[in-house]
Amino acid sequence: MSTSYATERHSSTAAAHRDAEVVIDAHGRIIGWSSEAQDLFGYPAPQILGRTVASVIVSPGREDAASVDATAARAMCGAPIAIRCQDGTTQECRVQVRPAAGAYGQWTVLLTSAASDDVDSALLEALFSESPVGLCVYGNDLRLLRYNPAAEGLERILGKGSLGLQPHELWPDSNARAFEATMRSVIESDVPVTGFDKRGHLPDDPHEHVFANSAFCLHDHAGHVIGLANTSVEITRQRRAEERLALIADASALIGTSLDVMATGQQLADIAVPRLADAAAVDVLAPVIAGDEPNPCNPDLRRIGLQHSGAPAAAANDPNVDYRRYPYPTCATRSLTDPQPHRFQTRLQSGANQRDNETTEGQPAHVLVVPLCARELVLGLVTFYRLDSRNPFEDCEVTIATELASRAALAIDNSRRYTREHNAARALQRELLPQRSPRQSAVETAHHVVSATSGTDWFDIIPISGARVALVVGATGSAGLSGAATMGRLRAAIHTLAELDVSPAELLARLNALVSRMTAEHGGLDGDAAEGTGATCLYAVYDPVSGHLALASAGHPPPIAVYVDGSVHPVAIPPGMPLGTGESPDDTVELAVPPDCTLAFYTPGMLTESRADESLHSFIDLVSATRNTSVEESRQRIVDALLPTEPAQGAVLLLARTRRLDEDQVATWDLPSDPAIVATARSLVQRQLATWGLEDEAFITELVASELVTNAIRYGKTPIRLRLIRDQALICEVYDGSTTAPHLRYARSGDEGGRGLYLVAQFTQRWGTRYTGQGKTIWTEQDLNTSP
């Protein structure tokens, strides 16, 4: 066994106990004198070497000794003798004599101050009688050899019959096995161990006690380990205080990290078990889960958290107890009206026995019920259980439980408020979004909207003049009520601008200016910084007569186009900058779209943010596979494949399959700029309506056409074109090469003119003007009672 550690240790005690070594020959002359002997007796080596031992011994019967033989040397061993020092004083010493190594007839005499021995004896006696620190001595076999009264008083497990027992036999209800393993490592390595916690339940004491222990080896004169000493000091209060602080710190870090009521309740149960209780159940009033105000007078409790640890020793040793089958009922609903915690004892019946209607005595349990109170509201209860009847909840533990409940209650109330706002925002968003697709013949549509905790996305399908349809998708970048409000403002602005029938690029430019003004006025539509809302928008217009698609983007991804021949690719348009940045989108992109082409409009929430490129390819593949299915079935397939059950980000998918109006649904005539042509225009309209079987609409349509053609000839420029479209409504359009805006006048009774547009407005359901780069079109719509 290595003793290097022992030989390297130094202390004042070691210095005081060094032996003075003297070597004598067979005639009793001193032939060796150590430095320790010089320090102890004062003689330098040259002065003492050669003298006889008898010359310095003053003990009775030894003054005349001329020599020291083997018998005399052995006789001196153990008995104290007096040595005359150089200064004339005497020094009481104890003697040890042994043959000198390698020299026959010579002896090595070890002299130890008797005063040091007295100190050692007094110290040893004090340690085992007066010391307030517990001290136990164990042999190499870890059996108890000796202990002091302090150890007996601290652990209250030592007494008659303790000697000869090992730690696990002395204190079975503790971590003695781990302590024994530590003790063995100390004996094997000869390295002391400090700060080892020994904990367990003392006899007839329900509370756990903790002792700080140190262990070090005991050595003989040769440096061999002959046993182990163990010091012990009770630190139960200190450890409990540290554990409580650690529990509160961990609770602060864990509880409230989620804005979900259910998750917060489970966090409270997880942090309390097993550090505070064997089991914990968290119950809240039902309205809390829905985000509503709780009503303690209606105790409809719902469980949001449950945790339990392994069975304690008392329950584990009972074969009739199945710890995991206890239902942990809510034991004190009166705490809903009384904010004070309550402690009591009860018996938990096994869940299996309850189902089988068997009568059992039940497992005794200590119960602590703490109300969940926040902002003067009682949200529910947290119930702590201990199945060890010897371990009730102490006052300090009630304080800790109340602190945990208070933190959790505040987090649950924050979650409740968030849920209420989120539900209100989702309800507002649902109200603001289109409830059903408007009547139009240009495209067949299907959509899917996801309201989530981040982002507020929207879409629109807006019928506009000429049987066309505007398709809109956008994202605000903000969530909650502010996001829904932002979406409502943007949608209202888009509907207003769509009525002006401007190009997509011009519409987004005006919308961008509007958002910039609102951002400057309010510091962001949703209260964000003044750099804007981060909203994006894509605006597209499809014409089922010409088959053209015109679109522009403000920071939004382009739609995916799937053609009937199987080819698929994103529409090539410049992405532009988000709204509110001050930069207007590029010009409108126009392209011809064949019938039965599927256009997939989407917001970024449809794609996985961490794998955007891979997700986009998957999205394109899914859209490509839908060309032979209905848009509704295609929508469902894409949503099922891409969107998780609980998406964290809002998303919109809008599928639009293009249609074309039949040639016999459109009639177009180019007219000369001649007032006489007005009569011809009326005749053309009459014949076309007869062909369509719309004779009942002939009078009004002839009147409208004649007024519009007359205005075009009188105030406009060539070319002049008259067009009738039979769709959901009867549409009459007159185009001319002038960009002069028409003006609705209210003629006086004596005026001969000025009533044209007034009559048009009175006899039709809708009318308006749209402009192109070469002129304008005045259009009207008349509702039809029959389908086209």
Q: Which two tokens stand for residue 9?
A: 């240790």
Task: For residue 780, give the nearest of 772, 788, 765 by alpha carbon.
Answer: 765
Retrieve residue 179's tokens: 């302590």
For residue 203, how many other CB atoms are within 10 A of its CB? 9
Paired tokens of 231: 């010091």
Query: For residue 315, what pLDDT is reported?
Result: 41
Helix (H, G, I), strand (E, B) or coil at 324: helix
What's the confidence (pLDDT) of residue 455?
Answer: 63
Mean pLDDT by 10 residues, the chain (788 residues): 43 57 86 89 90 78 44 56 86 82 79 68 68 88 89 78 90 90 93 90 80 90 86 88 88 87 91 90 90 82 84 42 54 72 82 44 83 89 85 88 93 89 78 79 90 76 93 84 82 91 91 84 50 77 95 93 89 88 81 93 78 73 84 89 72 93 94 92 94 92 92 90 94 91 59 66 89 88 70
Distance of alpha carbon 13 from alpha carbon 4, whole angstroms: 18
The residue type at 480: G
Residue with tokens 């001290």: 135
User: What count of Cα atoms within 13 Å lies in the side-chain half-sphere of residue 159?
Assistant: 6
DSSP letter at 163 equals T
Q: What are phi and psi of 462, to 5 degrees?
A: -120, 110
CA distance 505 to 5: 86
Which alpha helices (H) appear in 587-697, and where do they start and end? 612-624, 631-642, 677-692
- Residues near 79 by beta carbon (within 8 Å), at least 6 away in sequence: 94, 95
Half-sphere exposure (Cβ direction) of 695: Cα atoms closer than 13 Å = 2
pLDDT for residue 485 = 81
- Per the CB < 8 A criterion, the answer to whether 573 and 634 are in contact is no
The per-residue pLDDT for 268 is 93
Amino acid 88 reads G
